[in-house]
């Protein structure tokens, strides 16, 4: 029996079926799970026999190169997420150790137990949550709560009480850290994520760079747009925001929308197209993208040729690969000087990290 190269339609079909077995793996199996390894081929290198036809390991790997590349990317993403989780676990443990030691030393210095210290400095200083505070919180968040006040007042009161205790506790810990001159030498976990040729707002010299991975069809990504605009408004040239593409496969129009933004960038209107597409996320077909370009005053022929040719398809894919290697698995995802933030985080969460980065760089905010 001879080893046959895939030169006829029947062998091409056999190879396609074999490749599907590889490509299906990431969709069937949970991510980052260890799988037992089996014998992939016989001594003669044959991985499948169908009648008189054979498929060799070499033929399979050649045909399945793209699927294998995706599997390797998944492996690297898992490694990145593991390193981040490990660092965060150690960081959290270190903080707990330092705080326990501070409380223990302070209690010893005062001649009281740790429980007595916390009762006096934390529990005894928590302000009672009254009905007015509950009603004020409800009015500020009514749209999100979407339930009658009488049904949720107890939960709101409990939440505000917990937040009050947390604030008092953190203030007490901060006073102890200052008193004992505590310094943490274990910095936050960072991932090297270059902005490359990505469109960006703000100067390259900015002490803080935010690299965002986003999807124009993702509703959560649209919520981050005004948040990042607010960040730019507050910090100005101290922050640079760079946009990289991460169109999710189940968003059928996201890939071409990403390409359209880069075609608009050729004519100096990336951010205008960016804002318009996020404002009209339900209108991202190719014809609708071309209509948007016309509305923005772009040269129609150049834009349409750019979009139809798939000129930026590979650049968008390169952005996605960079995101996967950095541990991105969904959108929106941001890296603030390499510090990872996942999801549509509120302004306060992003501003807190920006403030920390500016302070670390010795820049007044």
pLDDT digits (tens, 9 = 90+) for 260-285: 999 999 999 999 999 999 999 999 99
Q: Are 273 and 296 in contact (CB under 8 A)?
A: yes
Average pLDDT over residues 102-129: 95
Closest by alpha carbon to 342, among 358, 318, 326?
A: 326
Dihedral of alpha carbons 314, 315, 317, 322, sign:
positive
Provide the 10 A C-beta neighbour count for residue 236.
Answer: 11
Contacts of 72 (CB under 8 A, 6+ apart): none
**Tokens at 200, concatenated:** 């960006």
Q: End-to-end CA distance of the chain, in Å?
A: 75
Residues 313, 258: Cα–Cα separation, whole Å: 8
Residues 344, 219: Cα–Cα separation, whole Å: 10
The band of 198, judged by pLDDT with boundaries at 50, 70 and 90, is very high
What confidence score (pLDDT) does residue 202 get? 96
Query: H or E stretch including 188?
Result: none
Q: Decide: residue 52, CB within 10 A, 0-12 exposed, 13-18 middle, 19+ buried.
A: exposed
Cis peptide before 175 (omega within 30 of 0): no
Closest by alpha carbon to 80, among 335, 251, 258, 316?
A: 335
Name the residue with tokens 């404002």: 279
Residue 17 has pLDDT above 60, yes or no: no
Closest by alpha carbon to 333, among 260, 255, 224?
A: 224
Average pLDDT over residues 180-195: 89
Average pLDDT over residues 25-44: 43
What confidence score (pLDDT) does residue 43 get? 60
Contacts of 29 (CB under 8 A, 6+ apart): 35
Residues 328, 128: Cα–Cα separation, whole Å: 42
Mean pLDDT estimate for the chain: 87
Closest by alpha carbon to 245, among 221, 217, 212, 271?
A: 212
What confidence score (pLDDT) does residue 270 get? 98
Residue 62 has pLDDT above 50, yes or no: yes
Range with the lowest mean pLDDT among 35-49, 77-91, 167-181, 271-285? 35-49
Average pLDDT over residues 336-342: 95
The band of 41, judged by pLDDT with boundaries at 50, 70 and 90, is low
What confidence score (pLDDT) does residue 42 get? 57
Question: Could you give the domains of the chain?
Answer: 97-179 (no CATH), 200-360 (3.40.30.10)
Residues 230, 274: Cα–Cα separation, whole Å: 16
The band of 8, judged by pLDDT with boundaries at 50, 70 and 90, is very low
Helix, strand, coil share (%) of the chain residues, nearest 5 = 60, 10, 30
């Amino acid at each position: 029996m001879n080893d046959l190269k895939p030169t006829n339609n029947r062998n091409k079909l056999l190879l396609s079926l074999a490749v599907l077995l590889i490509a299906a793996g990431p969709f069937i199996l949970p991510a980052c799970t260890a799988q037992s390894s089996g014998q992939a081929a016989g001594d003669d290198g044959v991985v499948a026999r169908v009648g008189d036809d054979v498929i060799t390991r070499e033929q399979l790997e050649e045909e399945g190169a793209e699927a294998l590349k995706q599997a390797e990317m998944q492996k690297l993403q898992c490694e990145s997420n593991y390193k981040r989780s490990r660092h965060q676990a150690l960081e959290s443990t270190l903080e707990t150790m330092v705080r326990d030691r501070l409380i223990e030393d302070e209690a010893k210095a005062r001649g009281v137990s740790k429980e007595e210290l916390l009762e006096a400095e934390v529990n005894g200083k928590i302000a009672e949550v009254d009905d007015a505070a509950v009603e004020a919180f409800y009015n500020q968040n009514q749209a999100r709560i979407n339930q009658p006040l009488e049904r949720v007042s107890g939960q709101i009161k409990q939440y505000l009480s917990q937040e009050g205790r947390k604030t008092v506790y953190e203030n007490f810990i901060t006073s102890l850290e200052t008193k004992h001159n505590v310094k943490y030498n274990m910095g936050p976990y960072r991932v090297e994520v270059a902005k490359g040729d990505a469109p960006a707002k703000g100067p390259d010299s900015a002490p803080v760079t935010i690299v965002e991975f986003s999807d124009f069809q993702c509703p959560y990504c649209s919520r981050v747009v005004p948040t990042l605009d607010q960040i730019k408004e507050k910090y100005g040239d101290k922050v640079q925001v760079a946009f990289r593409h991460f169109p999710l496969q189940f968003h059928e129009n996201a890939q071409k929308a990403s390409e359209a933004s880069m075609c608009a960038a050729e004519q100096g209107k990336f951010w205008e197209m960016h804002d318009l597409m996020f404002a009209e996320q339900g209108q991202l077909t190719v014809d609708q993208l071309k209509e948007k370009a016309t509305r923005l005053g772009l040269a129609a022929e150049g834009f349409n040729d750019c979009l139809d040719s798939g000129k930026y398809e590979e650049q968008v894919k390169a952005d996605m690969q960079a995101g996967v290697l950095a541990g991105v698995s969904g959108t929106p995802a941001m890296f603030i000087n390499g510090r990872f933030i996942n999801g549509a985080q509120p302004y306060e969460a992003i501003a807190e990290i920006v403030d920390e980065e500016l302070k670390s760089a010795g820049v007044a905010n």
